[in-house]
A and B are shown apart, each in its own frame.
Chain A
């Protein structure tokens, strides 16, 4: 335990201070991480301290009220407090994003590694499948799959994962193809290393930085796609607060001038996606060995 704490702390603290020395890329990463962490904290702490039921059912006759001191973000047509919905509504989106990234990692990384390392027919076959998925417009494909699978967090995550697995596959494949020709891999082979050793201690660790970058970028895309899915009604049950649903509701309320119902969830989605994008951009610049020196 002592050892683990030592190593994690020992790496995190200089890691943070070295981030600020990395110039623009470092700051971009920090800003992105702050955005993401604060939204994650907000949605995870909110259910503990925010009396959702009381605050959403305002007790008054359902009506759309503009922002006021009592309701800082106004209420929607059901008389629900928008601030509460903002606090609560992020969790589904985050769950979907995390789950879809995990599915992508579990499928994309092994398939990408093995097929490009082995080469031959397997590589051709999986490249063909991945490229044909890649050829579809992402959101349209996700909507089609979600429509087949039905509602729910897992189904949303699955339909998003299908769309993004090819980007993992492509990045990993191109990296593996380069690394397996590099001298250190050849040298390991010439020293009698087993295939397993070459794959797991030479190729995989050198691909990890790229996987991290793809995953962060993938988070941002997954959030936008998840919002898109709920927006067209393929998200979770309507009783669960969700930023994507509020967008749909808000659009219907725009003609009567209730701008607040669509604006605040929209801003939150943008901020969350922006956070992940900034993190991804920053990390990709920091972790790219070609830009290191």
Chain B
């Protein structure tokens, strides 16, 4: 049984102009110790998907259907208390902006103490402090700095602290929503390495949400590509590199610079994503797709074209 099973999850934002379906029938699973990449551009619903897994979508967002099963238990039926003990302990969330993710008036020590005490009230002061210092050591931050305030750390260090807080209670799943977008490339690589090391050390599963396909290709076992709220391709990352099937994924791959191809021409995908309030009939990518045909006006199913390589495109049958 997979660790996390998401079935036909649908999330809508009930806005004044109409209902925006930010996540449409998302179905995927996550195995123990696996890294799953969720890729998509802004507005594709990837962050909403991440937040809905801990049932923390900002209003006016609502989960209108589907199920989220962690260890076989449906998170959708959790009471508020059960949800609180789930969050932080079983599923941890890392936010995009490290500069504002830590409470400016609290020391790093206070952050750790609050988190550990919330979930393990019996923990003594010394134990808490010991645990926190151990984690800081793993993060490559001097344990003596535990009494410092967030503003005394750099962006990369703050994100490392956020990661430390996320893994402090040894959760089963860590969801990282664009953890490196606000950081420069060198720090980015370090943070991603740290996440991978911690994943291996603690045996947790990782969901890495990003717009950067190159990050995901390198570090994820499986990849979910999202477009306009739908999963359009779901595949092992090795296979994605070799055989990208969906025209959107092909476009994304062609837009990654490759150092080995000297005179490679970078191609952009023409056009822009559709307005979620005014979606085209059938395939949502058809207006930008080089292979669009009459047939694309029909509702496209997510098809398993070969060994759990799922694609939402009529080019491969259906």
Contacts and interface: CB of A to CB of B under 8 A. Distances in A.
Interface of A: 181-184, 186-194, 197, 201-202, 205-206, 289
Interface in B75-111: 83-89, 92-93, 95-97, 100-106, 110
Contact of B89 (A187, A188, A192, A206): A192
B56 interface: yes
Nearest to A205: B105
Contacts of A186: 56, 95
A191 B118 contact: yes
A182 B115 contact: no
Contacts of A181: 58
Given A184-B103, A190-B92, 20 more contacts: A183-B96, A183-B97, A184-B104, A187-B93, A187-B162, A188-B103, A190-B56, A191-B93, A191-B118, A192-B85, A192-B87, A192-B89, A193-B84, A197-B114, A197-B118, A201-B103, A205-B105, A206-B103, A206-B105, A289-B104
Nearest to B98: A183
B254 interface: no
A157 B169 CA distance: 51
Given A183-B95, A183-B97, A186-B95, A191 B115 contact: yes
Contact of A194 (B86, B92, B118, B166): B118
23 contacts: A181-B58, A183-B97, A183-B101, A184-B102, A184-B103, A188-B114, A189-B56, A190-B54, A190-B56, A190-B95, A191-B87, A191-B88, A191-B115, A191-B166, A192-B84, A192-B118, A193-B114, A194-B118, A197-B118, A201-B103, A205-B105, A206-B103, A289-B104
Contacts of A201: 103, 106, 110, 114
Nearest to A203: B103
A6 to B, nearest CB: 15
Interface residues of B, number: 30
Interface in B100-137: 100-106, 110, 114-115, 118-119
Contacts of A187: 93, 95, 101-102, 162
Contacts of B92: 190-191
Given A183-B97, A186-B56, A187-B95, A192 B104 contact: no
A182 B105 contact: no
Contacts of B103: 184, 188, 201-202, 205-206
A222 to B, nearest CB: 28
Contact of B104 (A188, A194, A206): A206
Given A183-B95, A186-B95, A201-B114, A194 B100 contact: no
A188 B93 CA distance: 10
Contacts of A193: 84, 88, 114, 118
Contact of A192 (B88, B95, B105): B88
A187 B93 CA distance: 7
A205 B107 CA distance: 13
A247 B86 CA distance: 66
A191 B54 CA distance: 10
A206 B100 CA distance: 13
B113 to A, nearest CB: 11
Nearest to A186: B95
A81 B106 CA distance: 54
Contacts of A205: 103, 105-106
The residue in A183, A187, A201, A206 that gathers the most chain B C-beta atoms within 10 A of its C-beta is A187
Contacts of B162: 187
Contacts of B100: 182-184
Interface in B204-260: none
Contacts of B84: 192-194
Q: Which 3 A-B pairs have the closest CB atoms?
A: A191-B88, A192-B88, A190-B93
B70 interface: no
The residue in B85, B103, B106, B115 that gathers the most chain A C-beta atoms within 10 A of its C-beta is B103
A182 B110 CA distance: 19
Nearest to A190: B93
B195 interface: no
Contacts of B166: 191
B114 A190 contact: no
Contacts of B106: 201, 205
B49 interface: no
A183 B95 CA distance: 7
Nearest to B84: A192
Nearest to A206: B105
Contacts of A184: 100-104
A188 B100 CA distance: 12
B311 interface: no
A186 B56 CA distance: 9
Interface string B159-173: 000100110000000
